[in-house]
Amino acid sequence: MATSTLPASTDRRRSSILLKTIMAASGLFFIAFLLLHMYGNLMILSGREAFDEYAEHLRTFGGAMVPERGALWVMRIGLLVALVAHVGSAVVLWRRAGAARSVRYQVTRRSYGNFYVKAMRWGGLAILAFVIFHLMHFTWQTVTIGEAHASPAARVIDSFSHWWGVGIYVLAMIFLGLHLLHGIWGAAMTLGLNTSLERAENIRLTSIVVTTLIVVGFLIPPFAILFGLVK
């Protein structure tokens, strides 16, 4: 019986492309969430009441049509599914690249270390660690910066009245910015959007604009609070 390794390697290539597409799609979902979250956070610039009202609105969104926190839970489940898909695909691709590299090492004994690939992996893990810290800080309130408060606005204002509270979030935004910058570019490549030099230039520009918008937008409230512009 004639056997060939070609179908197996073709299958593997196809499944790697599928995993990269899953990473791109879940990444785009995260970006939509980040833009909405960033916009919501800017409400703090309108004062404590506006922000508390917005936080309350998140819980009652959908009115009588859905149970309290119903829409919030739909979003949370969506984020969790996207997180499992994104991290799961990354781990499988990571292991495959590692296995392929160990074969290459035996053949050539040369290192193919790639700065961007490493930065995406370790940066992604740093963002994951930040998200866990962030949920403990604002959602579960098991970690406090400053004092504990019943009002979401008071929690945010107290946290960012401390320079080190701002420092933690600045560090996280640096990791997030680097991840987004290369992630948007990579997602566009996976989705085959770079069909010409001009398009590649547009993708590069889009990744810079979206990343800047998210990072600057997220950092405006902490710095406005630190400099006493929000009381």
* Nearest CB to ligand HEM, comparing residues 97 and 126: 126
Region of 71-79, 85-93, 183-191, 199-207 interacting with ligand HEM (CB under 6 A): 71-79
Residue 131, judged by CB atoms within 10 A of its CB (0-12, 13-18, 19+), counts as middle
C-alpha span between 161 and 156 (Å, rounded): 9
- Read off the tokens for 146: 């400053």
204 binds ligand HEM per the rule CB under 6 A: no
C-alpha span between 43 and 63 (Å, rounded): 21
176 binds ligand HEM per the rule CB under 6 A: yes
48 binds ligand HEM per the rule CB under 6 A: no
C-alpha span between 34 and 11 (Å, rounded): 34
Q: Using CB under 6 A, which of 27, 123, 183, 222 touches ligand HEM?
A: 222
* Nearest CB to ligand HEM, comparing residues 97 and 210: 210
Q: How far is the CB of 124 from ligand HEM (least distance, A)?
A: 11
166: Cβ contacts below 8 Å, ≥ 6 apart: 160, 222, 223, 225, 226
C-alpha span between 91 and 88 (Å, rounded): 5
Q: Using CB under 6 A, which of 139, 193, 201, 209 touches ligand HEM?
A: 139
Q: Using CB under 6 A, which of 181, 221, 225, 230 touches ligand HEM?
A: 221
**Residues in 74-103 at the binding interface with ligand HEM, rule: CB under 6 A:** 76, 79
Q: Using CB under 6 A, which of 25, 45, 126, 131 touches ligand HEM?
A: 131
- Read off the tokens for 127: 């963002």
162 binds ligand HEM per the rule CB under 6 A: no
C-alpha span between 231 and 39 (Å, rounded): 19
Backbone angles phi, psi at 229, to 5 degrees: -80, -15
Nearest residue by C-beta to ligand HEM?
A: 138
Q: Using CB under 6 A, which of 22, 26, 41, 89 touches ligand HEM?
A: 41
C-alpha span between 153 and 210 (Å, rounded): 26
For binding to ligand HEM (CB under 6 A), which residues are involved? Answer: 37, 41, 55, 72, 76, 79, 127, 131, 134-135, 138-139, 152, 156, 169, 176, 218, 221-222
